[in-house]
Amino acid sequence: METFKHLISIQSLSNETIDLIFKTAKEFKEILQRPVKKVPSLHHKTVVNLFYENSTRTRLSFELAEKRLSADVLNFTVSGSSVAKGETLLDTVKNILSMKVDMVVIRHHHSGAPYFLSQHISIPIINAGDGINEHPTQALLDVFSIIEKTGSIQGKKVAIIGDIMHSRVGRSNIMLLTKLGAEVMICGPGSLIPIGIEKIYPVRIEYDITKALQWCDVANVLRIQLERQQQPLLSSLREYNLQYGITQKRMHALNKPILILHPGPINRGVEIDSNVVDGASSIVLEQVENGVAIRMALLYLLSQNH
Ligand code: CP
């Protein structure tokens, strides 16, 4: 097994390590069903959550995972910090680490920020989403949720639908799914699919949502990330919903069950309609539940390797 010192990218994980993460997460998930959900695994460890970008699920999920493992937790958000006075990322982190912190979780709006930190500090770093680059813990919880629901990932047909261009979730999912032997299709308007992506990853491209839904066993529906679009790439959100939205009508027309995932936050009525999000095919809240177990597993395994 490779030295699993940080979690920066899905690319650096071996299949053996991914299996270990899933096995450990399964054990932690079982503990999370008990009346007493806390274990002493990270007693005497201190973890800092550095969030340079907004988050609901990932930030709370990491904090809860750390607390369930009995770690001491520091939460840093840009608002109210000295970043506004011009302090650099590295200075901020070095100052926090001088307070004897054992592990860093970082979300940053700049792609590559977790990798940059890993070149300067030696304690474990977990990437909680960097720019449009990667969101490895989201991909791990997505695939864990698919396996939990369907039994396996090898050979599964997974369509990743929507704003592929700006999606770190999409990129990490493509890497993880193809590594584990799933067949991956990406589907969306041409303006939101990176040119030549099929030359980098073994994915097929489909521009017709009906064909994509007919092909897949699982659809992972991505948010349209208007905040990351430098120029208008869609005529309108209404038009997007008409062309690519996961609607009840499209679901009924399939005549077969498919599993629906969404990493959140959801734009209801844009990439997916409310009655599908809240319907029987959707596992969006199970994804969130599994996120805590996956993050507990990662924190635990990284603390063991350090
Ligand atoms: N899925 C996800 O990363 O959600 P948040 O931005 O709320 O953390």
Q: Which amino acid is at 36?
A: V
Start-to-end C-alpha separation, the chain: 15
pLDDT value of position 306: 74
pLDDT value of position 232: 67
- Which residue pairs, CB below 8 angstroms and at least 24 apart, start in 89-93? 89/52, 89/113, 89/116, 89/117, 90/116, 90/117, 90/120, 92/50, 93/50, 93/117, 93/120, 93/121
Predicted structure pTM score: 0.96
Torsion of CA 151, 156, 157, 163, to 10 degrees: 70
Taking CA atoms only, the protein residue closest to ligand 1 atom 5 is 55
Distance 58 CA to ligand 1 centre (A): 5
pLDDT value of position 3: 66
Ligand 1 is surrounded, with C-beta below 6 A, by 55-59, 129, 135, 138, 263-265
Secondary structure element (H or E) that encloses residue 244, with its range:
helix 237-244
- 107 Cα nearest atom in ligand 1: 8
Torsion of CA 37, 61, 180, 125, to 10 degrees: -110
Q: Which amino acid is at 210?
A: T
pLDDT value of position 305: 80
Query: CATH 3.40.50.1370 occupies which residues in the chain?
Result: 10-133+288-305, 136-287
Distance 253 CA to ligand 1 centre (A): 31
Burial class (CB within 10 angstroms; exposed 0-12, middle 13-18, buried 19+) of 305: exposed
Give the C-alpha separation, 188 to 133, whole Å. Answer: 19
Burial class (CB within 10 angstroms; exposed 0-12, middle 13-18, buried 19+) of 179: middle
Structure token pair of residue 277: 């999000």
The domain 10-133+288-305 is classified under which CATH number: 3.30.413.10, 3.40.50.1370, 1.10.3720.10, 3.40.50.300? Answer: 3.40.50.1370
Buried b / exposed e over 96-124, threshold 16 CB at 10 Å, is: bbeeebbbbbbbbeebebbbbbbeeeebb
Give the C-alpha separation, 146 to 154, whole Å. Answer: 11
Structure token pair of residue 111: 């792609």
Distance 53 CA to ligand 1 centre (A): 10
Q: Mean pLDDT for each consecutive 10-residue tract of the chain (306 residues)?
A: 84 97 98 97 97 97 98 95 94 96 97 97 96 97 98 98 96 98 97 95 98 98 78 79 96 96 96 97 98 98 89
Give the C-alpha separation, 62 to 137, whole Å. Answer: 10
Q: How far does CA 148 lie from the centroid of its chain?
A: 17
pLDDT value of position 33: 97
Angle, vertex CA 122, rays to CA 118 and CA 124, nearest 5: 75
The DSSP secondary structure of 191-237, one letter per residue, reads GGS-TTHHHHSSEEEE--HHHHHHH-SEEEEPP--GGG-SS--SS-H
Q: Write down the CATH number for the domain with range 136-287.
A: 3.40.50.1370
Give the C-alpha separation, 299 to 296, whole Å. Answer: 5
pLDDT value of position 225: 76
pLDDT value of position 229: 64
Which of 53, 55, 77, 262 to probe ligand 1 with, by most ligand atoms within 8 A of CB? 55
Query: In this structure, what are the phi and psi dihedrals at residue 181, rounded to the nearest 5 degrees?
Result: 90, 15
